[in-house]
């Protein structure tokens, strides 16, 4: 599918974001007039790595971990502070050392540009950071937090969204022993929807363990764990009988033709995760997937996520917001987008035991916004 740049922007989040900010500038917002906010004053950018400890060992089809080293960014200009977060993922060749390096290399972009020119800053980041997408995400999240605070509005209000329209978030259950899986399901009693990690030769055992404890709706994520279309079809047929709503990334991302074959035969929606990072990936996926999972760490931040939402909607695809293991900084950023989408799986901060920030809360799966400007996060940097 070929789209002109003009048509793409009409369908993309750039137009959504631009229109919302235009309304704010022309009187619908509450830009802080008490002090002079130019977006061009002296800037301070700090970068820190923090170890986030997982409440349980986190296992998916690829690997296991007990902690994550996430990278946090603090941008201050004109007396306004914006926070961002990067959650490096080995699937994409990322680590906290390289991520920190890329963020430091990109500092000059912020020093040389007016922060209100956020679209130009995004373009410059795309040209400067060619790997470590999570580094772009951290900087973009911090930038949009700053923008929201400059206008004294939460991001969802800046975008003209109704938080009541946000879907409830699922709670993820990682691969584990039967007894631990049962324990995790019991601990997640407050959450109305579960997402179960599969993609191993123990998939049936895992789902049976879940179903022995609860009959609530479940979704499954194979994380590319099934290696043939025949295996995927056989497992999806069985999962359908277990009350599973949809499957994420059943086979490796590069198996696009096989996934298209599977979609024709599977009586269950198939959502792309590892197969999609940015808006440019989406058109070719429409034949093989029913929807996409947008993660800020893959997209490179909120601005690209908005473009992805516009593109997916134009193609009639379902949209899910997902996450890595993240603190309340990145989770809150994504939550502000939730009213735009069909499904949410924003529980990364609920899986850690030492969240250094607080922000958007979750009560019985429902997002609770605090109405503070920007991301609405507070904590110790």
Q: Which residues are catalytic?
A: 197, 295
Cα 325 from chain centre:
10
Query: Taking CA 333 as the corner, what is the angle to CA 304 and CA 287, rounded to the nearest 5 degrees?
Result: 40
Residues 6+ apart with CB under 8 A from 287: 260, 263
310 is written with which tokens?
A: 């516009």
Indicate the length of the chain as a whole number. Answer: 381
- 363 assigned to a ligand binding site: no
273 is in an annotated binding site: yes
In which order are the strands placed within the sheet that holds 43-59? 43-59, 64-77, 80-86
Q: Of 140, 107, 111, which Cα lies nearest the Cα of 123?
A: 140
Q: How far is the C-alpha of 66 from the C-alpha of 279, rounded, in Å?
A: 32
Find out whether 248 is annotated in a ligand binding site. yes
Residue in 348, 347, 275, 265 with CA at minimum distance from that of residue 317:
275
**What phi, psi does 128 have (nearest 5°)?**
-90, -40
Measured CA to CA, the distance from residue 361 to residue 377 in angstroms comes to 10
Nearest to 345 by CA among 228, 130, 192: 192
Rounded Cα–Cα distance for residues 9 and 307 (Å): 8
Residues in the annotated binding site for Mg(2+): 221, 248, 273
Residues in the annotated binding site: 221, 248, 273
């Amino acid at each position: 599918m070929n789209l002109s740049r003009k048509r793409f922007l009409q369908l993309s989040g750039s137009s959504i974001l631009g229109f919302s900010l235009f309304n704010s500038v022309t009187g619908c917002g509450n830009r802080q007039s008490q002090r002079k906010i130019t977006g061009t004053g002296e800037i301070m950018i700090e970068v820190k790595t923090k170890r986030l400890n997982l409440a349980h060992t986190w296992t998916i089809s690829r690997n296991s971990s007990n902690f994550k080293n996430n990278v946090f960014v603090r941008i201050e200009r004109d007396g306004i502070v914006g926070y961002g977060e990067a959650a490096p993922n080995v699937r994409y060749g990322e680590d906290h050392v390289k991520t920190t390096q890329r963020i430091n290399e990109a500092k000059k972009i912020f020093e040389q540009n007016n922060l209100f020119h956020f679209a130009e800053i995004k373009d410059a980041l795309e040209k400067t950071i060619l790997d470590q997408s999570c580094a772009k995400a951290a900087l973009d999240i911090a930038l949009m937090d700053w923008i929201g605070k400059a206008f004294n509005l939460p991001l969802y209000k800046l975008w003209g969204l109704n938080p009541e329209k946000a879907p409830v978030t699922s709670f993820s259950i990682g691969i584990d022993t039967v007894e631990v899986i049962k324990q995790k399901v019991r601990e997640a009693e407050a959450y109305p929807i579960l997402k179960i990690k599969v993609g191993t030769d123990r998939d049936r055992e895992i789902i049976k363990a879940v179903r022995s404890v609860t009959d609530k709706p479940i979704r499954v994520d194979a994380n590319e764990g099934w290696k043939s279309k025949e295996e995927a079809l056989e497992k999806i047929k069985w999962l359908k009988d277990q009350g599973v709503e949809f499957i994420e990334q059943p086979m490796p991302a590069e198996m696009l033709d096989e996934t298209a074959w599977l979609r024709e035969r599977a009586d269950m929606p198939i959502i792309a995760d590892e197969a999609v990072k940015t808006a440019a990936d989406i058109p070719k996926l429409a034949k093989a997937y029913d929807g996409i999972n947008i993660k800020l760490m893959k997209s490179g931040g909120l601005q690209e996520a908005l473009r992805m939402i516009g593109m997916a909607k134009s193609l009639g695809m379902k949209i899910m917001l997902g996450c890595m293991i993240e603190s309340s900084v990145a989770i809150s950023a994504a939550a502000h987008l939730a009213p735009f989408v069909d499904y949410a799986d924003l529980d990364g901060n609920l899986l850690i035991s030492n969240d250094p920030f607080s922000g958007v809360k979750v009560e019985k799966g429902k997002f609770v916004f605090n109405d503070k400007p920007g991301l609405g996060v507070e904590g110790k940097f």
